[in-house]
Amino acid sequence: MISEKMNEAFNTQIKHEMYSSNLYLSMVAYFEEIGLKGFANWMRIQVQEENAHAMGLFDYLIERDGRVIVEAINKPEFEWKNALDCFEAVYKHEQLVTSLINELADVAEAEKDRAALSFLQWYIKEQVEEEANCSEICSKLRLIGEDKHALLLIDQELGARTYVAPTIG
């Protein structure tokens, strides 16, 4: 059985993961609107990943005889100046998610919930990867500046990304 405090912290994280999904869905719409279908594809995969992350937490709570409470999700941003501005927002958001996952691990430590700590190691590692991916794309976008041809090459690269369902836990 999971503690009440741990249960509440997991529900809060599920809410954050679902917000992330909605934020990236909003970014899909933005990139579709400006004609960068590769960028939109990359974001669609982010949506799928965030949903999988939320469901991993959801399923873990159920497995531990916890109670899932689906909470309201705030409306995400929907306007950015350009691709770099959007990806800088992604990077900043992933840094926030990293801090939230770390806070969740802090609760697990305080509650001496070793099972939760073990489970959360996958999320901690995933956040390192998420931040690195976003940072790399931001660096490329800064490097190319206003070069539209280079932007289209990055769009093509991001369009090749495919979804691979994560093995969480």
Q: According to the model, what pLDDT value does residue 22 have? A: 98
How would you label 57-84 residue by residue, b for 16+ Cβ within 10 Å and e otherwise? bbebbeebebeeeeeebeebeeebeebb
State pLDDT tens for residues 126-164: 999 999 999 999 999 999 999 999 999 999 999 999 999
For residues 91 and 42, give the distance between their C-alpha atoms in angstroms, rounded to a whole number: 14
Domain ranges of the chain: 4-70+81-159
How many C-beta neighbours within 10 Å does residue 146 have?
7
State pLDDT tens for residues 80-133: 999 999 999 999 999 999 999 999 999 999 999 999 999 999 999 999 999 999
Reduced to 3 states (helix: H, G, I; strand: E, B; else coil), residue 102 is helix
pTM of the model: 0.95
Fold of the 4-70+81-159 domain: Ferritin (1.20.1260)
Alpha-carbon torsion (79, 39, 135, 81), positive or negative: negative
